Structure 1
Amino acid sequence: IGSKIIGAEVLDLFAGTGNLGLESWSRGAAAVTFIDASKESLRLVRSNIAKCRAESDCRVLQGSAPAVAERLAAAGELFDFAFCDPPYNKGWIEQIIALLGRKSFLRPGGYLVVERSAHNELPELPAGCELVRSSRYGETIVDFICYNML
Structure 2
Amino acid sequence: MALGTCLLAWLTTVGATCGDTGQTHVTAEVVGHGVGDTTFESAGWSVTLTRADVAFGPAYFCATTAADVDLCPAAVAETLDVGVVDGLSADLQPLGILEGDTQTVRSATYDFGITWLATEPAPLPAREAPGGHSARFLGTAVRGADSFDFAL
TM-score by length of 2: 0.21
Structure with the bigger RCO (C-alpha within 8 Å, sep 6+) is 2
TM-score, structure 1 as length reference: 0.21
More helix by share: 1
